[in-house]
Amino acid sequence: MSKHYLHLGLIGYPIEHSYSAILHTAALKAHGLNGEYNLHKIPPLPDGEKKLEELFNFMREGEITGLNVTIPHKRNVIRFLDKLSDISTRIDAVNTIAFQNGCLFGTNTDADGFLNDLKIKAAGYIVLEQSVISDSANRANALILGAGGAARAIAFSLLVSGWNITIAARKLEQARSLMENLNRHFVNSIIKAVDLSKNVLEEVAGDISLLINATSAGMFPNADLNSWPEGVSLPPECFVYDLVYNPGITKLMKQAEIENIPNAGGIGMLVEQAVLSFEIWTGMHVSREVLFESIRDIM
Ligand code: NAP
C-alpha cells in the first residue's frame, strides 16, 4: 500500500444520484492505493460561492488531491483555478481538477469520455470520423439537446470529429451563445442553434444521424421527463445517445426502443471519463472492467 493518502471527491448539486464515489473507490482499491472519494454538495451560485471558495482554499493547502465537477458548477469553478488545459479552455467547462506542483489545474474528460464510448456503442450505425469527408455540406448532422456544461463538451468533441451540429435548447439564447462561441473555433463546420420545441424538432429530424440528450431531463429523481417533445417521432435514421445514466434506461431510450432506433445511455461515458480523471490524479490506468464491475448491481 502507498503511504500517500488520496483525498478525491465530487462537487455538484444535486449529487446523491452520482456513481462516481463507487467508481473511484473501486479504482483506488484495484491499484492498492490509500484514499477516499467524498461528495461535496454545493448549492448553485450565489448561495454556493463561499463554500466553493473554502473548498479550493482547502485544496491549495494540499488537503484535497483531486476533484470532479458536475451540475451546476462546471463553469463556475474556472475562476478559482490557476491553469486550464487546452481542451477545457476551448470547451469553457471543467469536470476534473488536480492540485499539481502547487497549482490548481482544471481539465475536461467529458469530451474524450463521450467519444471513447460512442466509438464502442455506435460502431456499425454511424461513421464517427466525419472529417474524412472533405466537403462539410456532405458531412453528417448531430442534434444536441441542451446547451449546458455537458452539451459544450459533446459539441466540441463532435466538431473535432468533423460533424455538423444543431444545438436545441429551451432557452434559445443559450443555444445561440454556444453556437457563436463554437463558430469561432470551427469555421469549416455547419453549426446551428434552434429552439427545443415540437415544431422545430419535427422540421430538423429528417436530416439527423446522431441525437444526443445532454439535458438533465430524465435524470433521477425526474425519470418521468423526456427532453424530446411528446408526440414527435425520433429521427428515423439515427443513433440515440442519452448522457443520463441514472436510471440506466431513460424515457428517451424507451421511446427509441419502441421506434426501433439503436440507442445507448450515459453509463459508458461515465466510466470512460472516470478512467481519464483517475489517470490525471494518480498517473495510473484503471480498466473499464473494474469500474463496470463496481456498479454492476446498481445499473
Ligand atoms: P447543466 O449545465 O445544468 O445543463 C443542463 C441543460 O439541460 C441546460 O441546457 C438546461 O436548460 C437543460 N434542461 C434541464 N431540464 C430540461 C428539460 N426538462 N427540458 C429541456 N431542457 C432541460 O448540466 P450538465 O452538466 O450539462 O449535465 C446535463 C446532463 O448530462 C445531466 O443529466 C448529467 O448527469 C449528464 N452528464 C452525464 C455524463 C456522463 O458521464 N454520462 C457526463 C456529464 C453530464 P435550462 O438552462 O433551460 O434549465
pLDDT digits (tens, 9 = 90+) for 1-36: 345 899 999 999 989 889 999 999 999 999 999 999
Provide the residue type at 85 as one letter: S
pLDDT at residue 149 greater than cutoff 90: no
Q: Output the CA 215–ligand 1 centroid distance in Å.
A: 3
- The residue with cell 444545438 is 167
- Please provide residue 86's backbone torsions phi and psi, each rounded to the nearest 5 degrees: -60, -40
Percent of the chain beyond pLDDT 70?
99
User: What pLDDT sits at residue 3?
Assistant: 55
User: What pLDDT sits at residue 297?
Assistant: 85
The 10s digit of each residue's pLDDT in 81-96 is: 999 999 999 999 999 9
Q: Nearest C-alpha to atom 31 of ligand 1 is from which residue? A: 216
Distance set, CA 93 to CA 113, 126, 152, 154 (Å): 14, 27, 7, 11
Does residue 111's CB lie within 6 angstroms of at least one atom of ligand 1? no
Answer yes or no: 171 catalytic.
Answer: no
Distance set, CA 227 to CA 20, 73, 230 (Å): 24, 21, 9
Q: Which of 3, 74, 192, 254 is catalytic?
A: 74
Distance set, CA 180 to CA 79, 183, 284 (Å): 22, 5, 37
The residue-averaged pLDDT of 49-62 equals 96
Residue 72: cis peptide before it, omega within 30 degrees of 0: yes
Does residue 140's CB lie within 6 angstroms of at least one atom of ligand 1? no
The residue-averaged pLDDT of 195-201 equals 97
pLDDT at residue 118 greater than cutoff 80: yes
Distance set, CA 146 to CA 133, 160, 167 (Å): 27, 19, 7
CA distance 61 to 45: 24
Does residue 91's CB lie within 6 angstroms of at least one atom of ligand 1? no
CA distance 262 to 247: 18
User: What pLDDT sits at residue 134?
Assistant: 85
